[in-house]
Amino acid sequence: MKILVCISHVPDTTAKINFVNGDSEFDTNGVQFVINPNDEFGLTRAIWFKEQAGANVTVVNVGGPDAEATLRKALAIGADEAIRVNANPTDGFFVAKQLAEVVKNGGFDLVIAGKESLDYNGGMVPGMLAGLLGFDFVNSCINLEVNGSDAKAVREIDGGKETLSAKLPLVIGGQKGLVEEKDLRIPNMRGIMMARQKALTVLEPVAANSNTKAVKFEKPAPKSAVKLISADNLDELVNLLHNEAKVI
């Protein structure tokens, strides 16, 4: 089985979110970048398939040279090889087009991408990729088993979960549950050394449209300070929730 794991290179959760150039671009100054958490759950599941069933795992990112550190981390965790499509990921459709090309040329059976990235929260790349390729698609996937060309996937639904059967080739929009947080791996020294020897291929992008553009960014208005209510005066809390906040 050939697995492609799509990796977004995103600011760490604790990063300060600021914008530059007239609020049109994210300020990367001093920001630590990481593997998008939803992608990391998928990557770890893919490595499990490698260890249990001899799958080959390739990671891919659409981005600039700065994303290579994140791809190297994925290699250190256990992926076999990496591909970077050398392009500015302008919108979800553009990225999906690039990934579709990589999938077609690489003959992948299973594509795992996080259901959403931490930065733009678009939540569109896995679905668009499946649509472009005509592959089966399971989103919000919290468990995945593969047996030959048959897959059994569990997806989260509002208020529960649903078990689905699908055929490879398959695109998964992954999240926590594919593996648990405790199963995530921190690269060890041996992994880091080995990652240096693994292939990281840089491909030039194919021609594709962007269907959207990020015009600018705004930060939410600063919050007013919390109103503290004494534990002995809970009537006041009920009153505020009813008369001021109007939520009960």
Partner 1 sequence: MSILIYAEFAEGKFKKTALELASYAKKIAGETGTTVTALTINAIDAAAQLGKYGVDKVLNVKSDKLTAFNAKAYADAIKQAAQKESSKIVLFNSTTDSLYIAPLVAVALEAGYASNVVAQPISLSPFQVKRNAFSNKAFNITEITTDVKVLTIGKNSYGVFENAVSATEEEFSPSLNDADFSVKVESSEKVSGKVTIADAEIVVSGGRGLKGPENWGILEDLAAVLGAATACSKPVSDLGWRPHSEHVGQTGKPVAANLYIAIGISGAIQHIAGINSSKVKVVINSDADAPFFKVADYGVVGDAFEIVPKLTEKIKAFKAQNS
Residue 20 beta carbon to partner 1: minimum distance, rounded to whole angstroms: 13
Which CB atom, from 53 or from 164, has the smaller least distance to partner 1? 164
Which CB atom, from 189 or from 226, has the smaller least distance to partner 1? 226
d(CA 22, CA 218): 10
Q: In the range 64-93, which residues lie near partner 1 by CB under 8 A? A: 91-93
Residue 96 beta carbon to partner 1: minimum distance, rounded to whole angstroms: 8
Segment lying near partner 1 (by CB under 8 A), choices 57-65, 80-88, 154-162, 185-193 = 154-162
**Residue whose structure tokens are 């048959």:** 150
Structure tokens at 193: 């050394």
- Cβ pair 60, 81 in contact under 8 A: no
Residue 52: other Cβ atoms inside 10 A: 9
Residue 143 beta carbon to partner 1: minimum distance, rounded to whole angstroms: 11
d(CA 67, CA 82): 11
Q: In the range 182-221, which residues lie near partner 1 by CB under 8 A? A: 182, 210-220
Residue 197 beta carbon to partner 1: minimum distance, rounded to whole angstroms: 32
Report the residue from 157, 186, 189, 207 that binds partner 1 according to the rule CB under 8 A: 157
Count CA atoms closer than 13 A to 87's CA, side-chain side. Answer: 22
d(CA 164, CA 146): 12
Which CB atom, from 142 or from 195, has the smaller least distance to partner 1? 142
DSSP string across 36-88: -HHHHHHHHHHHHHHHHH--EEEEEEEE-GGGHHHHHHHHHHT-SEEEEEES-
| Residue 96 found at the interface with partner 1 (CB under 8 A) | yes
Interaction mask 119-148, partner 1, x per CB under 8 A: xxxxxxxxxx-xxx-x-xxxxx-x------
Report the residue from 88, 149, 161, 193 that binds partner 1 according to the rule CB under 8 A: 161
Segment lying near partner 1 (by CB under 8 A), choices 6-14, 54-62, 79-87, 189-197 = 6-14
94 burial type by CB count under 10 A (0-12 exposed, 13-18 middle, 19+ buried): buried
| Residue 44 found at the interface with partner 1 (CB under 8 A) | no
Which CB atom, from 122 or from 205, has the smaller least distance to partner 1? 122
| Residue 29 found at the interface with partner 1 (CB under 8 A) | no
d(CA 65, CA 42): 23
